[in-house]
Every structure is written in C-alpha cells, then in structure tokens.
C-alpha cells in the first residue's frame, strides 16, 4: 500500500495526519489535524528545536494509530527564510511534505485585516487541505531542488555579489578622489597606492592624510573582492573544461556556443532555470515571471504587465540576454520578429517588446538544450572557456 500519496484518502485504507507549519526565526507554530477530527490542535515550538518537533509528530502518529491500520502524515509550510532543509528532514522522517508558494494563498481583500500567526496557520491549513482534495489553484506547490542542484547556484550567485561589491568599492574610491578634483582615477591599475603621494587636488594641495588612509582601506577591500572574483572565475572555467556529458556544466558549454551568450549568462540560465524539467513553454514562462496579467472585468480591459512572480535573477538575465541577442544575432528569426514590430519606435515600446522577445528567446534556448535544434537563423561560435 502506498503511503506517500497526496490525493484525498479513501476511507478505511489508512489514517492520515495533516500538519502545517508557520515558521519564524524565534518560534514555530505547528497545527495538527488528526483523523476524524474537525479541530486543529496548535503547538508552539522553539525555532529549530527538532527534538520537540519529533516528540509532537510521534505523539500525533500514536494517536492516529489507535484505530489500527497504517498511518501516513502529510505536512506543509510556506517557502521562505528557512529554505529547504526542513523539507528534507521531514521527508527523511517519513513525512510527506509540501512547500507552498506564499503568494499563491488567497487572503482577505479588506483594507485592514488582522494578521497573527494563528490566523496565518489556519489559512495555510485550509489551503493545504483544499489542495489535497483536488481543488484547482487552491495553492501552488514548489518543486524542491536537490542539495546538488541547490549547490550549483552558488557559483553564479556568489559571482554576482562579488561583481556588485567590486563595483561599489571602485565607485567609492573614484567618488572620493573626484570630490578633490582628481579625475579619471584607476584604482585597479598597478601602482595605484604609490601614486597617492604624488596626486594633487584641483586647487594644488596634496591629499589629506585621513583621506589617503580611507582610500587605502577601501582599496584593500577592492583588491580582496577582485582577487576572490578572479579565483571564482578560474575555478568555473576549469569545471567547464572538464564537463561530463549531461551535466549542468555541459549544458553551459552548449548554451555558450551561441553567439551573444557569454559563459556568465549561460551559467545563470542553466543553474537557475534549465537544471530542471518543464512540461511546456507556459511552465517555463511562469518560472521566469514573464507571463502576462490581463485585467478583464466588465467594460474595463487592460494589460497590467508581466507577473514578475518567478525567479527574479533568471528574469533579469533573460531580459539582458534579449538585448544582447539583438546585437549579436541580428539575422536570427527572433531579431527580425522584434524589429518588424518595433520599427523606429523608442522608449516604452521597445521596453515592452524586449520582454516579449526574452520570453520567446528563453523558449527557444530551452528547446535548443533539450533537442539540439538551434534557434532559426542563429549563429554558433566557440565558447570562451
């Protein structure tokens, strides 16, 4: 008998315990509904106290087993700050857990509404039970990545933070010198610190000692970020050269063969999106958050823009890739489709159409990775690995 089914239970097969978690850093609220009970029992657990959680779950299992027969336990919690480790812990302890998208749960639309952990727990349990009964769109259940898939994202996300940090230090040093009348400073140029003693302000003075000390400390942080960034990129290139067939690294190399898609962009797209399976292009567009949100009620009809409900990092990369595609793949079918509709228009029209192009391009790249069919008119090159 399968005990990990999540459809509505058949009477007499097994007893089902339903559990819902309202998680926070300080404390966890646990709601449990036992078989045959219409009331939800609520418990408060110190955040991360797995011993107390184990005891509560064992107690619920024991109560459900009094009627005889097998017992299964289904649980849920909203995806967020605690990540996916709790899902894996529950799964390892025989609990069929689901992570729910918080934005998919319906809320009261009054201007003022009460919000407490108790109310949130009740709402979460109702949505979860409705989902198990088969009610369409009661809530959205996330696909939890494996630890290996989650770990693959570290490279591009760390690189993104280091690039931002390096740019921040560069801008700060240049701004401090520009305020003294020193223009066109190059902080990453060899010998930059030695030149500070010879620099003169716009009115002919040497740099003040405290200003030089601050620049030196800022430059040390800049050099550290730049060093770590270079080491990270070198490690990534070595992994790509030794890519095994079918791995994420092999997908990155395949994607980077398309002219206009560099290795960093390919890494983001593969590690954030194309590591997982999609059934159709609608699922792919939803994951990027590039699907439309029409407003059609009565006589009012308008388009509110894209949903922005998906992966924000992947969506930004998709739109950036769309602009690069127009530059490096002007003869492709997608580029001709874009310019045929945009023409000489600028501004808002282009910004709207680049989103449409990005969605079409992501579908074309997904098909390219899955089937090997190159987007129509696209030019292949050699990836700089």
Q: What is the pLDDT of residue 384?
A: 66
Cα 79 to Cα 85: distance, rounded to the nearest angstrom:
11
pLDDT at residue 336 greater than cutoff 90? yes
Q: What is the pLDDT of residue 23?
A: 93
Structure tokens at 340: 């045929």
Q: What is the pLDDT of residue 299?
A: 84
- Mean pLDDT estimate for the chain: 90
| Helix intervals (H) in the chain | 50-64, 85-92, 117-133, 147-178, 192-195, 209-241, 248-256, 263-269, 281-288, 312-328, 333-342, 348-371
Strand partners, 99: 77
Percent of the chain clearing pLDDT 90 (strictly above): 67
Number of residues assigned to the chain: 385
Tens digit of each residue's pLDDT (9 = 90 or more) over 316-325: 999 999 999 9
Least confidently predicted of 61-75, 154-168, 213-227, 289-303: 289-303
Q: What band does 9 get if pLDDT is binned at 50, 70 and 90? A: very low
* pTM: predicted TM-score of the whole model, two decimal places: 0.83
Q: What is the pLDDT of residue 106?
A: 85
Q: What band does 233 get if pLDDT is binned at 50, 70 and 90? A: very high
Please name the helix (run of DSSP H) or strand (run of DSSP E) that holds residue 224, with its range, or none. helix 209-241
pLDDT at residue 203 greater than cutoff 70? yes
DSSP string, 175-212: HHHHTTT--S--TTSTTHHHHTTT-B-TTSPBPPHHHH
Tens digit of each residue's pLDDT (9 = 90 or more) over 241-276: 998 988 999 999 999 999 989 899 999 999 999 998
Least confidently predicted of 6-15, 109-118, 260-269: 6-15
Tens digit of each residue's pLDDT (9 = 90 or more) over 264-317: 999 999 999 999 889 999 989 989 988 888 888 888 888 888 888 888 999 999
């Amino acid at each position: 008998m399968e005990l990990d089914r999540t459809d509505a239970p058949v009477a007499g097969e097994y007893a089902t315990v339903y559990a819902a978690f309202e998680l926070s850093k300080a404390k966890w609220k646990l709601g449990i509904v036992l078989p045959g009970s219409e009331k939800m029992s609520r418990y408060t657990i110190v955040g991360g106290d797995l011993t107390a959680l184990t005891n509560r779950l064992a107690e619920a299992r024991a109560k459900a087993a009094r009627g005889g027969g097998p017992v299964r336990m289904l649980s849920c919690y909203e995806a967020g700050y605690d990540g996916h480790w709790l899902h894996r812990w529950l799964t390892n302890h025989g609990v069929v857990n689901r992570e729910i998208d918080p934005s998919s749960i319906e809320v009261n639309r009054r201007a003022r509404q009460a919000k407490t952990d108790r109310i949130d727990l009740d709402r979460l349990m109702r949505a979860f039970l409705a989902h198990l009964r088969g009610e369409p769109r009661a809530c959205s259940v996330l696909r939890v990545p494996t630890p290996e898939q989650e770990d693959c994202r570290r490279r591009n996300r760390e690189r993104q933070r280091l690039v931002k940090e390096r740019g921040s230090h560069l801008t700060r040093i240049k701004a401090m010198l520009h305020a003294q009348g020193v223009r066109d400073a190059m902080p990453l140029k060899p010998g930059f610190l030695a030149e500070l003693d010879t620099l003169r302000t716009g009115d002919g003075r040497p740099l003040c000692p405290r200003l030089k000390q601050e620049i030196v400390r800022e430059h040390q942080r800049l050099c550290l970020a730049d060093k770590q960034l270079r080491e990270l990129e070198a490690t990534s290139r070595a992994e790509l050269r030794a890519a095994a067939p079918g791995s994420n690294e092999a997908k990155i190399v395949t994607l980077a063969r398309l002219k206009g898609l560099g290795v960093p962009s390919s890494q983001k797209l593969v590690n954030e999106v194309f590591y997982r399976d999609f059934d159709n292009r609608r699922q792919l567009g939803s994951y990027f958050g590039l699907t439309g949100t029409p407003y059609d009620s009565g006589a009012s009809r308008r388009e509110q823009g894209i949903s922005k409900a998906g992966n924000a990092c992947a969506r930004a990369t998709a739109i950036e890739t769309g602009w690069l595609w127009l530059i490096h793949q002007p003869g492709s079918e997608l580029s001709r489709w874009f310019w045929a509709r945009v023409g000489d228009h600028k501004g808002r029209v282009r910004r709207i159409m680049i989103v449409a192009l990005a969605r079409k391009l992501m579908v074309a790249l997904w098909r390219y990775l899955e089937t090997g069919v190159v987007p129509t008119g696209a030019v292949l090159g050699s990836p700089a690995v």
